Amino acid sequence: MTVRPYRLLFDHALARTDPERAHHAAFAALRAAAPVTGRLPRVRGQQVEAMGLRFSHPLGLAAGFDKNAVGIDALGALGFGHVEIGTVTAEPQPGNPRPRLFRLPADRAVVNRMGFNNDGAEVVAARLRSRGRRPGPVLGVNIGKTKVVPEEQAVADYEKSTALLAPYADYLVVNVSSPNTPGLRDLQAVDKLAPLLTAVRARADDVTEHRVPLLVKIAPDLSDDDVLAVADLALDLGLDGVIATNTTIGRDGLETDRAVVEQIGAGGLSGAPLRERADDVMRLLRGRVGPDLTLIGVGGITTAADAQARLAAGATLLQGYTAFIYQGPLWPRTVVKGLG
């Protein structure tokens, strides 16, 4: 299936299906097709050495698609060089009430207020243990705060997830930037973020025989000064990288009718409208941290030209999610091929 026929299928059929139901059905189909897609020629691109890891090319799948580590290798077979699972919380949780996922086709965007629905760190860790170490995409594990845990207990909550999941991660991501868990973004403040990241680093080192790279994921809604403060913190703490950016709570400049947007309500916006701000944040980060720190660019990357622009802005690696929904299963191969 090429990208164009998939676009027609999406616009005339999938777009009329409940987004969350469509996601589960499509993901199940991808997993069922894994014996076939696993025999496809491996996607070859420009290899990237980062954080002591070797990536077959820059493009990976962002957290949020495979929350529970059920389709890592099926997604890798489609052409993603790395797959970031999660966000996983220490305790299992159902997430926010439905409906909680909405498409904005005119903007090639999605609004979600999923609320970190996932099976919990113990179940996901068991799943990763059963999968074992095998050839495939580089595996990132994204961890977040359990909703019912108060802020003053957030560090212990992240430590629990770290202890369970770090042994199976090629790299670990602390997510403090989703808008859908109350109070989570408050943890991006440097005075709160520093002790959290220090604790996660120490716990990861306690439970692994080798050093697992640690990154933090930030929101596009941070002020420029706050972005620079996080960059300085990453250097001070010796983090391995920063992922920029998560979804936005902003709704400016959308083509979708304002009444429709207002009816959808709260949630994080992802997709093409994030591209410009995500580029700007990447340039800010790279200008501050210098050439060596790994920066993963995510947000609004749809075409190979978008990907190239993010790399030019300073990204070491790239991730996508919303474009994968709109463009279909050949999207990662198309982008990687376009990067040359």
- Binding-site members for substrate are 67, 112-116, 175, 180, 246-247
Task: Judge whether 313 and 282 are in contact, CB under 8 Å.
Answer: yes
Task: Could you list the beta-strand ranges (E) of 260-331.
Answer: 268-271, 294-298, 317-320
d(CA 237, CA 240): 9
178 is catalytic: yes
> For residue 278, what are the CA distances in angstroms to 17, 47, 109?
29, 23, 14
Residue type, 90: A
Radius of gyration of the chain (CA): 18
| The two three-digit tokens of residue 193, written as one number | 């973020």
Q: Which residue among the candidates 177, 178, 223, 270 is catalytic per the annotation?
A: 178
d(CA 257, CA 128): 43
CA nearest neighbour of 306 among 294, 318, 290, 292? 318
State the binding site for FMN: 63-67, 87, 142, 175, 217, 245, 271, 300, 321-322
Residue type, 319: Q
State the binding site: 63-67, 87, 112-116, 142, 175, 180, 217, 245-247, 271, 300, 321-322
**Annotated catalytic sites, by residue?**
178
